[in-house]
Structure 1
Amino acid sequence: MTTEFGRRVAQVAAWSCLSTGSALAQAPWPVDLVNPKPATDDVVLPMPCGGSMVFRRVNVPSANALDDRRVMLGNPEARFAYAENSRSDYVGGGFSDAKVKGQRYYLIGKYEVTALQFDAVSGTCPAVNPDGRLPKTGITWSEAAYFSGRYADWLAKNAAAKLPQEEGAPGFVRLPTEAEWEFAARGGVAVGETVFEQPAFAMPEGPQRYAWYAGTDSSNNELNGIGLLKPNPLGLYDVLGNAGEFVLDAFRLNKYSRLHGQAGGYIVKGGDYRTALADLRSAARTEYIPIDKNGERRDKATGLRLVVVPGALPSATRLQSVRSLWTGLADSGVSASQSLTDPVKEVEALAKATTDPALKARIEGVGNVIKANIQARNEQRDRSARSEIRVAAYLGRKILEDGLKIRAQEMYAKVAPDDKKIRATIDASKENLDATLNYMIETVKQIGLDYPTATTAAQGEILKREFEARSVPGYTPLVDLVMTRSQGARTGKPVSKPELLAELTSMEAKVLNK
């Protein structure tokens, strides 16, 4: 007992030392142990003992604090359906970007937490050596969560100014949710939806260059240091293979398009160095039962990766804003003069009119169902608006590309004026361009007639953030053009074909990066 008591006292004393600014005075760790593949947009946070941890932004284009993004997670493959069948989930970014309208984000660890980083927060500064570059494994879920709490505490006391802020409050580190982890592992908005829903992110140089999996051609069935391979589209290393990664959520089975109601153990994501290549996938979700007959379980191939997020309600200002946004979630868009036809208002009026508590509860329950249905409809409307704006922007780019092709064909025709085949090709190209222009005009008109101005404005900004995230240049002026023209169509202004073509031509250099 005396020995155990003494050990705990020593731990507390050591932690007290690390909780002070003196820890920052330690010599910085070698870069190859904490950030072997530096990038200009890395976010680096300090750690005790002269250490650091590197994070990457995960952008989630959003109109406001209550706007989130529906994503398809899971895997349709039958052999994993009991746990992973495809399902809708939602992800949101807690931090707002002050410089970019409609952009929100969270941070996720660029690498798996290493042994050196884990030990630096344990209470005693570790020896700095190459072995510290290995991911920290063999820990319990409770120890992973405790580590995130200790590191969050140290950051708040020693480096709060280095943390991203939201509404004046600093963010904090924790384990990621499964949706946060899988959204980032798949590539987030840096990839298109078709690519996002593939079993794993694209690996053009072969899987052995991106993931440590079972076999002599890859991991050789052993743990490997961080950052030795290539990253996923968000610049994250070892998200698949090497060490499995704990997330915050409890494990639940799948019940077709949703998760089952019973929560079991914890979830481990990503597979590890023992996982066969055929089983390596973003949707993989293994249940980690925290105890067995010997007590708390430890697995030699399971570790962790952290996220940095703010509170959902970091300030009184945000609370007031969220209350206002929440009230408007079920707004059906009717004017005040039509309020009696608004089912939500009708139900609220009925609930207020009755003095029977049981009846009141039933009416309010119906009201909640109606609100949820209206909210789902509004979200579907937003996604449809964004999709139609995207189509119109694509059509605008195609018109410009076809115009370039026609000019090239006409230059050739001047050299070979008797070539009837090239004249026929030019005529066909012009017909196609005119058809595309008509299609764009009809799409722009329909956007203006089908969607409120506020919807197209918000979804247009989100779409621009998506194009930027995927490094697809030239679409911002096209999206702006579509929004402006669709708003004109909404007010009854016709979309003139010559004017639209002239406006498109004027932005050719910007769109096609000439």
Structure 2
Amino acid sequence: MAKFRIALLLLLSLATAAPALSQQADPYNPQPAAGDLTLPMPGGVSVAFRPIFIGEGDSPFAQRKFNMGDPQGGFKENPTSVSVGGAFLAKNKSGGEDWLFYLAKYELTEGQYYAVMGLPQGADKALLHSRKPMAGLSWFQANEFVDRYNQWLFANAKDKLPAQGGQPGYVRLPSEAEWEFAARGGAAVSSDVFDRRHPYDKPLEQCEWFAGAKSSHNVVKDVGLLAPNPLGLHDMLGNVCEMTHGLYQVEYYQGRNGGFTARGGHFLTDEKSLRSAMRAEQPFYLAGGGQIKANAKPTMGLRLALGGVVFADRNAVRQMAEAWEGYRAGKGAALPAAVSVSPTSAQAGVKGRDAMEHLARLKKELAGQALSPGAAQQLGLLEASLGNIEFVLKQADEDSAYAWAKIAAERGFFLQRELAKLPTIQRLMTIAQDGGRTAMVEKYKERLNEFQANIDEAMSTYSESFRQLDKISPPAVDAGFTKYAKFLLERQAAAQLSSLKVVREQYAAFNKEKRANPELWRKQFEALGQGAQ
């Protein structure tokens, strides 16, 4: 009787270690949920996807800014501001239109892989029902599978694919940003939860497979046995690490391009290491035994994504063209692409606001805890210091803007005068040549070369002054030019004021196009110089 009780308790403990699965459970979607999108595969097999809403509405340029990375992950995971967008418009839970992309609920299984690619010769057909992740594939084999599956979908189930602007979506590997956004819980969680190492309130062993007797026992597990993350995605951080589409760069989107990026941990990863920011470079090829072969590991698999084209139809192009100026001047001004070419003060301002948000979250986390007087004082000083950044930057901008506006104006006036002298020297050299005065010709040539060198050097400084002004806020630049114009007015320097007008027009064009145009500038200064004679 005692042995029976022990056996019964053991069975009960095994049953409660993971969510109960019916004997009739769908092997391709063992934990169905509302909102699942199921796409067919050959032979009655299927794959389930979850909608990943970005929570930014229906604007054609809607995208969600967030910080990838983890400060505890070292320089390979240094927090970096990125953004993620959607491929399809749909109604979210609140009933509003929102952009989304789709991510597979589970890691690609052996059954799904062989349904598309065909069973290996002599393999048991039961393999088509296997819920083990399909590991041991190279990046090239993964993409071959993706292409083969897309071709089958387009030929047999095109109407099942989500569409935007009449263009059907397609299967692909997710980007790093999409993967981490989803791994953190996306728009379904609060900012505080999103910033955690992982988005689970339950013990990690109830949600992810990692190394050791507490979890995987160092063996890969069937997909969908554990609880999902807040978006309904299973096994995101463990079981097998997952290939993404992009090339590996230490700073996510800048620096040297390496292999491909695999995200998350696997069944041999230590529990303490498992986190949403976990990433690793994977070489495309491995050398071993005197041979070089494609990189394929038993700990590495993949998860499918569904995306689509940006310019699905003419209407999409028109909408984006009409919304561009308002977007870039509004919300888009604080997103990574715009910030990267914004004035330094604007970049610092965005970072300052981000820092204030993080500080607010920290204060919220510490609320109700007994802080030492010194710690409370330091938090207050930090908040005050961050609050003063904008004032300090504004003052620095105004000082720098005046200095560089003055340099640009003086270089412009110098160019005008020097370019005005060139025709006279060239005319005198021609007269000397016609008169056979060789010595004078050489003298004028030397003088002409000196003038040209001075002009080239001045043009280089002139361009650089524009680049420096472009790092400063537009209001400060306008104030700098206006202050210098007032200075010239007080000295009644009419010629320099005329030159300053051209300088400001040229800078306005540079600021818009972000490109120097020395050939045009030279022609304009030549015309200005000739008109002043």
How far off is 1:295 after superposition? 1.4
Give the 3-state SS of the residue equivalent to 1:156 in structure 2.
helix
Aligned to 2:51: 57
Q: 1:268 to 1:30 in 2, by over 3 A?
A: farther
Q: 1:75 to 1:40 in 2, by over 3 A?
A: same
Aligned to 2:61: 66
Q: Which has the larger radius of gyration?
A: 2
In the alignment, the residues of structure 2 paired with residue 373 and residue 156 of structure 1 have an alpha-carbon distance, to the nearest angstrom, of 47
Q: 1:371 to 1:199 in 2, by over 3 A?
A: closer
Aligned to 1:163: 161
Work out whether 1:84 is the aligned partner of 2:82.
no
In the alignment, the residues of structure 1 paired with residue 340 and residue 283 of structure 2 have an alpha-carbon distance, to the nearest angstrom, of 39
Q: 1:309 to 1:130 in 2, by over 3 A?
A: closer
Could you give the per-residue CA deviations for residues 279-314 of structure 1, whole angstroms, max 9, x where no partner exists?
100101011111122311210110000111121111
Give the 3-state SS of the residue equivalent to 1:247 in structure 2.
strand
Q: Is the 8 A contact 2:88 2:308 kept in 1?
A: yes
Q: 1:252 to 1:371 in 2, by over 3 A?
A: closer
In the alignment, the residues of structure 2 paired with residue 88 and residue 271 of structure 1 have an alpha-carbon distance, to the nearest angstrom, of 23
The code of the aligned residue for 2:62 comes to D
Work out whether 1:288 is the aligned partner of 2:286.
no
Could you give the per-residue CA deviations for residues 419-466 of structure 1, whole angstroms, max 9, x where no partner exists?
xxxxxxxxxxxxxxxxxxxxxxxxxxxxxxxxxxxxxxxxxxxxxxxx
In the alignment, the residues of structure 1 paired with residue 265 and residue 314 of structure 2 have an alpha-carbon distance, to the nearest angstrom, of 41
In the alignment, the residues of structure 2 paired with residue 295 and residue 141 of structure 1 have an alpha-carbon distance, to the nearest angstrom, of 12
Q: Is the 8 A contact 2:62 2:99 kept in 1?
A: no
Q: Is the 8 A contact 1:226 1:237 kept in 2?
A: yes
In the alignment, the residues of structure 2 paired with residue 299 and residue 89 of structure 1 have an alpha-carbon distance, to the nearest angstrom, of 29
Q: Which of 91, 98, 102 does residue 103 from structure 1 map onto? A: 98
Give the 3-state SS of the residue equivalent to 2:62 in structure 1.
coil
Alignment of 1:265-276 (within 5 A): 265-276=259-270
Q: Is the 8 A contact 2:45 2:112 kept in 1?
A: yes
Give the 3-state SS of the residue equivalent to 1:242 in structure 2.
coil
The code of the aligned residue for 1:171 comes to G
Aligned to 1:279: 273
The code of the aligned residue for 1:227 comes to G
Q: 1:35 to 1:369 in 2, by over 3 A?
A: closer
Could you give the per-residue CA deviations for residues 187-244 of structure 1, whole angstroms, max 9, x where no partner exists?
001111111011111242x111111100011111111001111111111100011011
How far off is 1:183 after superposition? 0.4
Q: Is the 8 A contact 2:110 2:128 kept in 1?
A: no
How far off is 1:329 after superposition? 3.4
Aligned to 1:450: none
How far off is 1:61 after superposition? 2.1
Alignment of 1:343-492 (within 5 A): 372=342
In the alignment, the residues of structure 2 paired with residue 30 and residue 157 of structure 1 have an alpha-carbon distance, to the nearest angstrom, of 30
Q: Is the 8 A contact 1:330 1:371 kept in 2?
A: no
Give the 3-state SS of the residue equivalent to 1:81 in structure 2.
helix
Work out whether 1:264 is the aligned partner of 2:286.
no
How far off is 1:75 after superposition? 0.3
How far off is 1:33 after superposition? 1.5
Aligned to 1:220: 217
Q: Which of 193, 196, 199 does residue 195 from structure 1 map onto? A: 193
Aligned to 2:180: 182
Q: 1:323 to 1:372 in 2, by over 3 A?
A: farther
Could you give the per-residue CA deviations for residues 352-383 of structure 1, whole angstroms, max 9, x where no partner exists?
xxxxxxxxxxxxxxxx9997559x78x969x9
Q: Is the 8 A contact 1:74 1:84 kept in 2?
A: yes
Q: 1:146 to 1:95 in 2, by over 3 A?
A: same
In the alignment, the residues of structure 2 paired with residue 115 and residue 183 of structure 1 have an alpha-carbon distance, to the nearest angstrom, of 26
Q: 1:180 to 1:200 in 2, by over 3 A?
A: same
How far off is 1:277 after superposition? 0.3
Give the 3-state SS of the residue equivalent to 1:234 in structure 2.
coil
Work out whether 1:248 is the aligned partner of 2:245.
yes
In the alignment, the residues of structure 1 paired with residue 170 and residue 205 of structure 2 have an alpha-carbon distance, to the nearest angstrom, of 34
Q: Is the 8 A contact 1:62 1:102 kept in 2?
A: no
In the alignment, the residues of structure 1 paired with residue 299 and residue 56 of structure 2 have an alpha-carbon distance, to the nearest angstrom, of 36
How far off is 1:130 after superposition? 7.9
The code of the aligned residue for 2:193 comes to V
How far off is 1:67 after superposition? 1.7
How far off is 1:124 after superposition? 4.9
Aligned to 1:395: none
The code of the aligned residue for 1:43 comes to L
Give the 3-state SS of the residue equivalent to 1:321 in structure 2.
helix
In the alignment, the residues of structure 1 paired with residue 311 and residue 53 of structure 2 have an alpha-carbon distance, to the nearest angstrom, of 20
Give the 3-state SS of the residue equivalent to 1:194 in structure 2.
helix
Q: C-alpha root-mean-square deviation of aligned residues, in Å?
A: 3.1
Give the 3-state SS of the residue equivalent to 2:150 in structure 1.
helix
Q: Is the 8 A contact 1:271 1:284 kept in 2?
A: yes
In the alignment, the residues of structure 2 paired with residue 370 and residue 209 of structure 1 have an alpha-carbon distance, to the nearest angstrom, of 41
Q: Is the 8 A contact 1:75 1:199 kept in 2?
A: yes
In the alignment, the residues of structure 2 paired with residue 176 and residue 279 of structure 1 have an alpha-carbon distance, to the nearest angstrom, of 22
The answer for unaligned runs of 5 or more in structure 2 is 1-22, 332-337, 358-533
Q: TM-score, normalised by structure 2?
A: 0.55
Work out whether 1:35 is the aligned partner of 2:32.
no
How far off is 1:181 after superposition? 0.6
Q: Is the 8 A contact 1:114 1:135 kept in 2?
A: yes
In the alignment, the residues of structure 2 paired with residue 219 and residue 213 of structure 1 have an alpha-carbon distance, to the nearest angstrom, of 6
The answer for unaligned runs of 5 or more in structure 1 is 1-28, 334-367, 388-514
In the alignment, the residues of structure 2 paired with residue 94 and residue 369 of structure 1 have an alpha-carbon distance, to the nearest angstrom, of 23
Q: Which of 311, 314, 323 does residue 313 from structure 1 map onto? A: 311
How far off is 1:180 after superposition? 0.4
